[in-house]
Amino acid sequence: MAARKTTKKPNVSAEELKTYYREMLLIRRFEEKAGQLYGMGLIGGFCHLYIGQEAVVVGLEAAAEEGDKRITSYRDHGHMLACGMDPGGVMAELTGRIGGLSKGKGGSMHMFSKEKHFYGGHGIVGAQVPLGAGLAFADKYKDNGRVTFTYFGDGAANQGQVYETFNMAAIWQLPVVFVIENNQYAMGTAQSRSTSTKDIYHRGEAFGIPGEIVNGMDVLAVKEAGEKAVAHCRAGKGPYILEVKTYRYRGHSMSDPAKYRTREEVQKVREQSDPIEHVRELLLSGKHASEDDLKAIDKEIKEIVNQAAEFAKESPEPPVEELWTDIYA
């Protein structure tokens, strides 16, 4: 992971910085709450938290336009919150309630929103990559100028279908940004043990797809790279790869004892590269916000998350009839 650059004076407004701070904090607090509800037995099964990776989706959403699409794997809560889906609806899906975005039938890994152009929430590692290219295929077919952000991890980057997709995205010049969220561990396997190349985006070169490394702990760097990638796609030049180096603080899922890395390694990232602390420093040092201003934002976010959790606890389980609905359109 690249070290954070704090020396460069960012060309960004106070309002923008505050927005990123708020959005990243919402994801962080939401995920912490989800972890807590999991611990209480209110959330079952798999639950993959996004803590540490917040700058990736918040930066890329800042580069997106209305109508652009996004699709990802099962570590998806952050993506949904960043594109504006209702925190209460997401949390109630985690608790398996009728108020959840999939009526409780999808769970943590499977949520969708046509309104926000969020296409899931997919549980099979790498399967969302051709699906994302397919969304871009539909946009190109309709010639509507839209771009699809297709997120996948360093683990998925070893699935064959990713490269089948790179090939077709390149020959058909599909408007898709492939976002490799490289958090360095495919479940418990370090990238160095699983992946022949140090920088995964290089693999795109074999298909003629340009790409670059992005510091995923710096929301402004992510946004800048995202804007470049989106402009490339919108100009009809085909796909683009962003390999965003990031880090997940928590285990792969809730039941991961994370023995494959040291506590010191995690602690070092938290202390030296935390994406939220980064924006916090920028806000304070640039005199864009006072400690009190930030406390007010913290309070506001805590309130949103608490309300989401309350809704998720109070929303009833789906009625038994729901077992038999939504199988066929």
Site for another protein in 27-56 (CB under 8 A): 32-33, 35-36, 38-42, 44-46, 51
In angstroms, the CA 112 to CA 89 distance is: 11
Least distance CB 85 / another protein (angstroms):
12
As given in the structure block, the two tokens for residue 296 are 């007010």
252: number of Cβ within 10 Å: 21
Measured CA to CA, the distance from residue 37 to residue 310 in angstroms comes to 11
Q: Which two tokens stand for residue 309?
A: 């959790």
CB of 188: closest distance to another protein in angstroms? 11
CB neighbours of 295 closer than 8 A, spacing ≥ 6? none
Q: Which two tokens stand for residue 203?
A: 């693999």
Question: Please, what is the minimum distance in Å from the beta carbon of residue 176 to another protein?
Answer: 10
Assess 133 for contact with another protein (CB under 8 A).
yes
- Spatial contact of 218 and 55, defined as CB atoms under 8 Å apart: yes
Assess contact for 90 and 101: CB atoms under 8 A: yes
CB of 14 to another protein, least distance (A): 26
**Which residues, numbered 240-259, are part of the site for another protein (CB under 8 A)?**
249-251, 254-259
From 2, 3, 138, 231, residue interacting with another protein (rule: CB under 8 A)? 138
Q: How far is the CB of 204 from another protein (least distance, A)?
A: 15
The token pair that represents 186 in the structure block: 């495919």
Other residues' Cβ atoms within 10 Å of the Cβ of residue 180: 28
164 interacts with another protein by CB under 8 A: yes
Contacts of residue 38, Cβ cutoff 8 Å, sequence gap at least 6: 47, 254
* Binds another protein by CB under 8 A, chosen from 59, 87, 121, 239: 121
Binding to another protein (CB under 8 A) within 54-73 occurs at 69, 71
- Specify the stretch interacting with another protein by CB under 8 A; choose among 76-84, 167-175, 237-245, 289-297: 167-175
* Site for another protein, residues 169 to 188, rule: CB under 8 A: 171
328 binds another protein (CB under 8 A): yes
For the bound state, the minimum distance from the C-beta of residue 4 to another protein, rounded and expressed in Å, comes to 18
State the number of binding residues for another protein (CB under 8 A). Answer: 74
| Binding of residue 113 to another protein (CB under 8 A) | yes
Residue 198 contacts another protein per CB under 8 A: no
Q: How many CA atoms lie within 13 A of 200 on its CB side?
A: 29
Least distance to another protein from the beta carbon of 266, Å? 9
- Report d(CA 215, CA 213) in Å as an integer: 7
CA distances to 271, 292, 306 from 297, rounded to whole Å, are: 21, 9, 14
69-108 mask for another protein (x: CB under 8 A)?
x-x------------------------x---xxxxxxx--
